[in-house]
């Protein structure tokens, strides 16, 4: 089984490790615009061969793990190059623009739109880890547009990697993921920014930071190259979540200004309900 992975970073590299372990006959070919990343991936044993787009014809599986704007550019080109029996799936955090881009492509049936909800705040081939996907949810959009036997091939991979599958239309995916993923990244980046700005005038305040702060700003370590295109693709939904978040913060500030600490207590108590919700999330 020839597996071509385009973009050998945290996500692509972690697929490489687990697929190689789960399929005896898997040969992993890496494609990356950075020659340095490609060499690292080879040194780390993530891939067995460095490759390039003009070799895609011999692929059985192509995994596209590059920023979403690059995927929109590349996906039609990739579909043009593959053979009729090849499955291509991407792993991007937005799905609507991508599905639209290839909706009329003659090889649309070779493409599966996927979004594994997995990752860390690190990036690059050195960030790739085994079992990243075990127990995680993989959202598949518009599955009916993918050829059935290629769906099966995809599911076999996801299943052996231990993923749970959830089906969804791409518009709902983009709307919901804005809340549970894109907004958290912005809240974290802006929290980090607010405190960094303050530290310019008041030195050493980070010595006072504890594990709570670290947890809340963890996502502010994430890659801008990955995230700027996500916000661009999901502009309308992200703006909507930001407006609701800012409105809630503003109302909370008003409650403090008004000394309405009974209501503040109640707001926090209601939100404590998140404990139950988070139980299922590692």
What part of residues 90-119 is at the interface with a copy of itself (CB under 8 A)? 117-119
Residue 232: CB minimum distance to a copy of itself, A: 5
Q: Applying CB under 8 A, does 134 fall inside the site for a copy of itself?
A: no
**Residues 137-166: x/- map of binding to a copy of itself (CB under 8 A)?**
x-x--------------------------x
Residue 169: CB minimum distance to a copy of itself, A: 13
For 23, phi and psi rounded to 5 degrees? -125, 110
Chain residues 221-260 in contact with a copy of itself, contact rule CB under 8 A: 221-222, 224-225, 227-229, 231-232, 235, 238-239, 241-246, 248-250, 252-253, 256-257, 259
Residue 113: CB minimum distance to a copy of itself, A: 15
Residue 108 tokens, joined: 């649309």
Residue 145: CB minimum distance to a copy of itself, A: 21
Q: Give the number of other CB atoms < 10 A from CB of residue 197.
A: 9
Q: Applying CB under 8 A, does 217 fall inside the site for a copy of itself?
A: yes
Q: Which of 51, 60, 57 is nearest to 32 (CA)?
A: 51
Residue 39: CB minimum distance to a copy of itself, A: 24
For the chain, give the longest Cα–Cα distance: 68
Cα–Cα dist 11/1, whole Å: 20
Cα–Cα dist 78/107, whole Å: 10
Residue 218 tokens, joined: 């963890």
Q: Is 218 helix (H, G, I), strand (E, B) or coil?
A: helix
Burial class from Cβ neighbours inside 10 Å (0-12, 13-18, 19+) for residue 118 reads buried
Chain residues 50-69 in contact with a copy of itself, contact rule CB under 8 A: none
Q: Applying CB under 8 A, does 129 fall inside the site for a copy of itself?
A: no
Cα–Cα dist 124/244, whole Å: 33
Cβ-based nearer residue to a copy of itself, 53 or 190: 190
Cβ-based nearer residue to a copy of itself, 85 or 228: 228
Q: Applying CB under 8 A, does 211 fall inside the site for a copy of itself?
A: yes
Cα–Cα dist 87/63, whole Å: 8
Q: Applying CB under 8 A, does 181 fall inside the site for a copy of itself?
A: yes
Q: Applying CB under 8 A, does 73 fall inside the site for a copy of itself?
A: no
Q: Applying CB under 8 A, does 49 fall inside the site for a copy of itself?
A: no
Residue 48: CB minimum distance to a copy of itself, A: 29
**Beta-bridge partner residues of 6:** 31, 64
Alpha helices in 82-140 (DSSP H): 96-101
Cα–Cα dist 213/21, whole Å: 37
Cα–Cα dist 207/134, whole Å: 36
- Single out the segment in contact with a copy of itself by CB under 8 A; choices: 1-9, 31-39, 143-151, 181-189: 181-189
Residue 206: CB minimum distance to a copy of itself, A: 5
Cα–Cα dist 95/68, whole Å: 9
**Residues 184-203: x/- map of binding to a copy of itself (CB under 8 A)?**
xxxxxxxxxxxxxxx---x-
Residue 140: CB minimum distance to a copy of itself, A: 12
């Amino acid at each position: 089984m020839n597996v071509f992975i385009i973009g050998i970073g945290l996500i692509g590299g972690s697929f490489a490790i687990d697929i190689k372990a789960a399929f005896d006959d898997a040969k992993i070919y890496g494609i990356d615009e950075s020659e340095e990343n490609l060499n690292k991936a080879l040194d780390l044993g993530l891939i067995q061969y460095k490759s390039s787009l003009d070799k895609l014809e011999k692929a059985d599986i192509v995994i596209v793990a590059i920023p979403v704007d690059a995927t929109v550019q590349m996906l039609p080109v990739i579909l043009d190059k593959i053979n009729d029996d090849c499955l291509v799936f991407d792993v991007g955090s937005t799905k609507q623009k991508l599905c639209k881009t290839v909706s009329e492509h003659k090889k649309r049936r070779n493409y599966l739109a996927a979004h594994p909800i997995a990752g860390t705040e690190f990036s690059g081939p050195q960030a790739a880890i085994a079992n990243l996907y075990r127990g995680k949810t993989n959202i598949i959009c518009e599955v009916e547009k993918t050829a059935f036997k290629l769906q099966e091939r995809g599911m076999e991979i996801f299943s052996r990697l231990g993923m749970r599958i959830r089906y969804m239309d791409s518009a709902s995916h983009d709307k919901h993921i804005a809340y549970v993923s894109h907004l958290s990244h912005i809240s974290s980046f802006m929290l980090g920014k607010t405190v960094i700005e303050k530290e310019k005038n008041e030195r050493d305040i980070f010595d006072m930071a504890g594990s709570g702060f670290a947890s809340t700003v963890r996502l502010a370590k994430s890659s801008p190259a990955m995230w700027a295109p996500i916000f661009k693709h999901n502009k309308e939904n992200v703006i909507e979540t930001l407006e609701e978040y800012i409105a809630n913060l503003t109302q909370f500030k008003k409650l403090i200004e008004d000394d309405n600490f009974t209501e503040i207590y109640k707001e926090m108590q209601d939100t404590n309900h998140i404990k139950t919700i988070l139980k299922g999330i590692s």
